Structure 1
Amino acid sequence: MTQLGLNSHRHTILLARPDQIVNPCFLDYWKPYIDIVTEPESIEKLTPLSDSLQDVLAGIRFSDRRTLPYFEAWAVVQREWEKQQRSPLLRLSDSHLERGWDCLASLGVPRDAWFVCLHVREPGFHQDKKGLYQTFRNANIDTYTLAMETVRERGGYVIRLGDPSMTPLAPMSGVIDYAHSDLKSDWMDIFLCGACRFYIGTTSGLSHVPPTFGVPCAMTNWTPMGIRSPYGADLLIPKLYWLESEQRYLSLAESIDPQIGYIQYAPFLAEKRIKPVDNSPEDINALVIEMLERMEETGNYTEADHGLQREFDKISAKYTAYSSRFSRDFLKKYSDILF
């Protein structure tokens, strides 16, 4: 925001306790932009000041005195960044690339190959087996098998990201279950996110790492709709919402409205008798095919396709528009439901 002049110039300091750093390698990449304090003694001295000086990220204040929810603010900022055709903030170092490709080679991926990353959110990371947290953002890894096969048919490899709590993948040629690999590390996580051709994911925190390196994402099972997908290079398909009391799907306008679209906890959706419906394997595969076509510059959008996208843009603009494009085939298939 500061580089774009969207907020007042400020000296940003991050107090990062070593035991709270999820990925030290990724944090290091931000050192050119943020003063990062990790020494326990310095943190102890500065912590009393943080209560008065810290940014509250739930609401982002702009230089024009607007204050927006963070998920609307990041869409505004990213759209302006892309409008000015600025480069990604981060770039993998040459040594990081060399080290990462050496590791991939040990996993059976040739240096001249290309690969995509796949991450499907599961409850293990948050230890939420009872559904009290944001479990409706989870999905079933088995529904991605068809898409993985498509990537393999096109000559690419698939690297499954995550942690050891995730459901193991069935063996498949050219698909590496890195989440269960002994070679898993913080630096390799970041290499994979920053060096893949594109990333296939769900609404989880990891999905924001690839775009910082300029890597496009094919976002599946996107939910809730009120949380914006801010990156212009991304494609997405949302979970449909089934309203049990009326035995129908909610329209896009209903799903994105703050009364529904800002709900991030499963019990609140259940109170409204709304059931999120996961994407089908066929819908996920169609999205991945479209992303592959974009990467190969072979994709084709008809005027009807653009028209459906404009219809969604009009709906979402009421609350701050999405920057990402909806999947072409998804809009066609569900146009009678969505609009």
Structure 2
Amino acid sequence: MTRLPQMERVIDYPFTAAKSAMMDLYLIKECRFYIGMLSGILDLAMLFQRPMLVVNMCSWLLAFPPKQSDLGLFKHVYSKKLKRFLSPFEWPQLAWGGHSSFSPEEEYEFHENTPEELRAVVAEYLDRPENWKHSPLQKEFNALRINGARELLCSEFNPGDNFADMLARYRLASRLESVQGALGAGFLERTQERHMNAPTQTRSLAN
């Protein structure tokens, strides 16, 4: 792990004397909100019911932001076949949508969220009014996600192994209707605009 540069009001916790397993738990339990990726420590934030931002997401099915106020950001996915970045609204329509990892020889490339995107979604999260509600685009994607997952539930997950098939279906179904979060509104707006206006051949994430 690389040390952070000196910044005002920032504590580089891993390099302090306070670093410990117990303090890890305490900080997650007491944090104002949690920012993280799809890794094991995310489960602790969920266990403690902390408000959260889930960034650099690579799956539209599992580990979606759980609570209504939680937000997420997808990684940017470049299709080598189509020679363009995919819109988040295309994710649930593709065969790989239920998976979270790919080998280099496969058709897609993943690009992490930019610092500007991370800054924007944090500002969106902190600046929301008390009567905040999901935007039309957020509602549209959530409906698309649920419908896409329901279609997957109609297909075989593990042919020939009834127990494994049932387990996979339950794992998906239990995470389908229970999660109520959304992707960042600004992220959806910008990626949709880029999708509509960007040249087909580009790999640039710049606006």
TM-score when normalising by structure 2: 0.71
Q: Which amino acid aligns with 1:242?
A: Y
Residue 170 of structure 2 is aligned to residue 335 of structure 1 = no
Which residue of structure 2 lines up, in the alignment, with residue 290 of structure 1? 124
Shift in CA distance, 228/183, structure 1 to aligned 2, threshold 3 Å? closer
For 1:12-47, what per-residue CA distance to the aligned partner results, in whole angstroms no more than 9, with x for missing partners? xxxxxxxxxxxxxxxxxxxxxxxxxxxxxxxxxxxx
**Structure 1 position 257, deviation (Å):** 4.7
Which residue of structure 1 lines up, in the alignment, with residue 145 of structure 2? 316
Which residue of structure 1 lines up, in the alignment, with residue 16 of structure 2? 181
Is contact 2:65-2:182 (8 Å) kept? no
Which residue of structure 2 lines up, in the alignment, with residue 325 of structure 1? 182
Which residue of structure 2 lines up, in the alignment, with residue 236 of structure 1? 72
Counterparts of 2:189 and 2:89 in 1: how far apart (Å)? Answer: 17
**Structure 1 position 278, deviation (Å):** 1.2
Q: Which amino acid aligns with 2:27?
A: L
Which residue of structure 2 lines up, in the alignment, with residue 35 of structure 1? none
Q: Which amino acid aligns with 1:256?
A: P
Q: Which amino acid aligns with 2:136?
A: G
Is contact 2:87-2:191 (8 Å) kept? no
Shift in CA distance, 298/281, structure 1 to aligned 2, threshold 3 Å? farther
Larger CA Rg, structure 1 vs 2: 1
Which residue of structure 2 lines up, in the alignment, with residue 201 of structure 1? 36
For 1:51-105, what per-residue CA distance to the aligned partner results, in whole angstroms no more than 9, with x for missing partners? xxxxxxxxxxxxxxxxxxxxxxxxxxxxxxxxxxxxxxxxxxxxxxxxxxxxxxx
Shift in CA distance, 230/334, structure 1 to aligned 2, threshold 3 Å? closer
Q: Which amino acid aligns with 2:100?
A: Q
Where do 1:258-273 residues align within 5 Å?
A: 259-267=95-103, 270-273=104-107
Query: How many residues are matched?
Result: 166
List alignment gaps of at least 5 residues for structure 2.
150-175, 197-207
SS at match of 1:226: coil
Which residue of structure 2 lines up, in the alignment, with residue 279 of structure 1? 113
Which residue of structure 2 lines up, in the alignment, with residue 62 of structure 1? none
For 1:122-161, what per-residue CA distance to the aligned partner results, in whole angstroms no more than 9, with x for missing partners? xxxxxxxxxxxxxxxxxxxxxxxxxxxxxxxxxxxxxxxx
Q: Which amino acid aligns with 2:44?
A: V
SS at match of 1:220: strand
Moved over 4 A (4+): 298-301
Work out which of the residue numbers 58, 71, 75 in structure 2 matches 1:223. Answer: 58
Counterparts of 1:188 and 1:254 in 2: how far apart (Å)? Answer: 41
SS at match of 2:135: helix
Counterparts of 1:190 and 1:257 in 2: how far apart (Å)? Answer: 38
Q: Which amino acid aligns with 1:192?
A: L
List alignment gaps of at least 5 residues for structure 1.
1-165
Alignment root-mean-square deviation, CA = 2.3
Which residue of structure 2 lines up, in the alignment, with residue 40 of structure 1? none
**Structure 1 position 299, deviation (Å):** 7.4
For 1:146-205, what per-residue CA distance to the aligned partner results, in whole angstroms no more than 9, with x for missing partners? xxxxxxxxxxxxxxxxxxxx2221111211111222321111001000101011111111
Is contact 1:235-1:325 (8 Å) kept? yes
Counterparts of 2:85 and 2:131 in 1: how far apart (Å)? Answer: 30
Counterparts of 1:248 and 1:291 in 2: how far apart (Å)? Answer: 29
- Point out which structure has higher relative CO (alpha carbons under 8 A, 6+ apart): 2
Counterparts of 2:88 and 2:14 in 1: how far apart (Å)? Answer: 34
**Structure 1 position 280, deviation (Å):** 1.3
Shift in CA distance, 181/256, structure 1 to aligned 2, threshold 3 Å? farther
Work out which of the residue numbers 183, 205, 210 in structure 1 matches 2:45. Answer: 210
